[in-house]
Amino acid sequence: MVRKNLRQELMDIFHELLDHFGPRRWWPGETPLEVAVGAILTQNVAWRNVEKAINNLKARGLLSIEGLVKVPVEELATLIRATRYYNQKAARLKHFVGMVEHEFGGSLDRLFRLETPILRAKLLGLKGIGKETADSILLYAANHPVFVVDTYTRRIFSRLGYLAENVGYDEMQGFFTRHLPLDNYIFNEYHALIDALGNRVCLSRSPRCAACPLAGRCVFRSTEEIGTE
């Protein structure tokens, strides 16, 4: 399929999703630290479990760089138990806040003022922090214009005919970065809207195509319908 104006098409998709779901106002969190902690804890677990863990940390007065540095890792693991793999995630949180404490004097602002490529490399250098988590911290906590992609992105945009089903993270991210305005608001809302569609409508099995606001654009739906006629 030949795409004449990818930027316009992607922005049209953005507005169609926005009209359908409304502003998502991601990422839930009262402070940049809470957002960063949430990004680390949400790996492989539902958000409601992350909320339980964050509320536990708040109740104990530990949701600060100083608090997370001082709390024993075993106690931290117990407080975030709801998030699965809690021992690993406790260690990851410790690595993150330890880096902020020792290299940036405990100042998250100083860390987040780094240039985007340097900050991203710093985050990816922490054990257990992958590209999606690092980019979520960059976009939602540090307000750097980085487009976050995930399994939902791959599923939806391969079905729409824009990406291969086996496209890698970097190629997928580069596609959106090249063809969208470099804008924090658009990157923020677009990722959130993609996840809303993937979680509620464009399911991996038995997708709810009749309820999809992008159904008229979807190569996958056309193929499925042709196959059932």
Fill in the DSSP letter of residue 67: H
Average pLDDT, consecutive stretches of 10 residues, N- to C-terminus, the chain (229 residues)? 80 98 90 97 93 97 97 98 96 98 97 98 96 97 97 97 96 98 96 97 95 94 54
Q: Where do we find the tokens 């630290």? A: 33
Q: What residue spans define the domains of the chain?
A: 6-24+148-224, 32-141
Class of domain 6-24+148-224: mainly alpha
pLDDT of residue 223: 66
Question: In this structure, which CATH number among 1.10.357.10, 3.90.550.10, 1.10.340.30, 3.30.365.10 belongs to the domain 32-141?
Answer: 1.10.340.30
Give the chain's radius of gyration (CA, Å): 19
Contacts 24+ apart (CB under 8 A), 178-186: 179/6, 179/7, 179/10, 180/7, 180/10, 180/11, 180/147, 181/7, 182/145, 183/145, 184/139, 184/143, 184/144, 184/145, 186/14
- Rounded to two decimals, what is the model's pTM? 0.93
Q: Residue 142 in contact with residue 112, Cβ under 8 Å?
A: yes
Amino acid at 199: N
Rounded to the nearest 10°, the torsion over CA 196, 201, 205, 210 is -160
Q: Do domains 6-24+148-224 and 32-141 have the same CATH topology?
A: no
